[in-house]
Structure 1
C-alpha cells in the first residue's frame, strides 16, 4: 500500500474538484492528494504569519485573512482560486477564528 492511499483528504477539499452532479473528482487520487498536501501545508505555514500580522499591524482577524488570500492569488499563483479560498478557510479553522464571510 502506498503512502498516498493513507492520506485522508477532507471532503471539503475533494469538493473543489467535483463537477456539478458528479461524484468522482476530476483529478487522479495521487494528484488530488498532492494538491491537498500543498494546501494543508500552506495553511499550517501561514498560522504564525497570520498571528504576527494581527499583532504587529493591529488589524482584525478578517483583515488578516483577506490579506493572506490576496497574497495567495498573486501571479504566478501556486494554488488555484478555489484552493486559495480553501487554504484561507482552513487557516481560520486552525487559528480558531471565524471563517471568512466571502473568500471567493
Structure 2
C-alpha cells in the first residue's frame, strides 16, 4: 500500500503487527493492509452465518461469537490468533451485538 492508497487500516488491526509499546510495524504496510482486507472480508461474510446460528440453533449472541472464534482459531482458517479475535470483534460490531470476552491466545 502506498501513500496514495485509500484503504484505511484501523489502529486496532495495526496493533496486531506492532511490538508492545512500539509504533513501527513488524511487516511491510502492504502486507498488513492485505491481511486487514482478508479479515474485514471474512467478518462481512460471516454476518449471515452468525445470524443463522442465532435464530436457527437458538444460541445466544455470545455463544455464536465464541463458536465463530473457536472455528477461526483452528489451523484451517489460516489466521493468526490476534486476527481471529479481531474478526470476531468486528463481526460483533457489524451485527451490533455486545463485544464478547474471548480467551487469551496461548
TM class by shorter-chain length?
over 0.9
Q: 1:84 deviation in Å?
A: 0.1
Give 1:11 shift.
0.4
Cα distance between partner residues in 2 of 1:72 and 1:43:
11
Structure 1 residue runs of 5 or longer lacking an equivalent are none
Tell me, yes or no, if the aligned pair for 1:53 and 1:59 is still in contact at 8 Å. Answer: yes
| Structure 2 length-normalised TM | 0.90
1:19 corresponding residue in structure 2: 19
Runs of 4+ in 1 over 6 A off after TM superposition: none
Structure 1: distance between partners of 2:17 and 2:2:
22
Aligned-residue offset at 1:78? 1.2
Q: Is the 8 A contact 2:93 2:99 kept in 1?
A: yes
Residue ranges of structure 2 left out of the alignment (5+ in a row): none
Q: Is the 8 A contact 1:66 1:103 kept in 2?
A: no
1:4 Cα deviation after fit: 7.5
Q: Provide TM-score, normalisation by structure 1.
A: 0.92
The RMSD of aligned alpha carbons is 1.8
1:1-104 equivalent positions in 2, closer than 5 A? 5-104=5-104
Q: Structure 1 residues 18, 97: CA separation in 2 closer, same or farther (over 3 Å shift)?
A: same
Q: For residues 41 and 49 of structure 1, what CA distance do their matches in structure 2 show?
A: 14
